[in-house]
Amino acid sequence: MNSKPLHVACIMDGNGRWARKRGLPRTAGHTAGEESLADVVRVASKRDVAYLTVFGFSTENWVRPRAEVRHILGLHKKLFGRISELNENNVRVNWIGRPFDEPGSRTPLYVQRAIRKAIEDTRSNTGMVLTVAFDYGSRSELTRAAKHLVASSDDLTPANLQRHLYDASLPPVDVLVRTSGESRISNFLLWQIKAANIYFTERPWPDFDSVDLDAAIALAKN
């Protein structure tokens, strides 16, 4: 790496619209979205991206139709199962979300296992850190962090609150990407995007490619 390593975060929107435009079921859009993510991971790992954080499934997404939720969960299992590809690209897998053993957690065991295995099997990689936000919501993260901080004897300071986030080691986001023409934040990384650039694109996530990624990176570097 010859310049500042970046933290890129993505809200991968528009899978459903991508599918509808092609007369396909929404699930086909998510399948294409997973393929797109695998490509973006490969490309990003070869750029100056030290951290890539993606919004895989939110605390709000559980209310989607059951078949769609099941499909998206299956895609997470598939993504976390791409171990040899991740290892080839020297990518270390990480996860943020509602802890499995805490009240409110709904993550099924097979997804828990896939997450744990991917983290374990990629833990010695030294390149880009891929953090998947699964069963993640920023307000839940911040409320939980505040509760933990209040329960400790530490002062209520930003630095102390940061220590109680799901992953305190995640650096600030340099650029937040949102695809598919939406310009909302959707309860994603509210703490971490404090000073982030925001890259909006009309393209739906399944069409997001290296040209878009490079444009987002350029925005963060200017």
- Positions marked active-site: 13, 61
- The single residue listed with the structure tokens 């890129």 is 8
DSSP bridge partners of 175: 8, 197
Distance CA 3, CA 21 (A): 40
Nearest Cα to Cα of residue 116 among 128, 104, 101 = 101
- Nearer Cβ to ligand FPP, position 4 or 139? 139
Least distance in angstroms from the C-beta of 109 to ligand FPP: 18
Distance CA 117, CA 201 (A): 33
**Spatial contact of 180 and 205, defined as CB atoms under 8 Å apart:** yes
Among 61, 87, 160, 210, contact with ligand FPP (rule: CB under 6 A): 61
- Nearer Cβ to ligand FPP, position 79 or 216? 79
Least distance in angstroms from the C-beta of 40 to ligand FPP: 10
- Nearer Cβ to ligand FPP, position 24 or 142? 24
Query: Is 132 one of the binding residues for ligand FPP (CB under 6 A)?
Result: yes
In the region spanning residues 34 to 53, those forming contacts with ligand FPP, defined by CB under 6 A, are 34, 37
Nearest Cα to Cα of residue 136 among 163, 110, 107, 114 = 107
Among 10, 28, 30, 175, contact with ligand FPP (rule: CB under 6 A): 30
Query: Is 79 one of the binding residues for ligand FPP (CB under 6 A)?
Result: yes
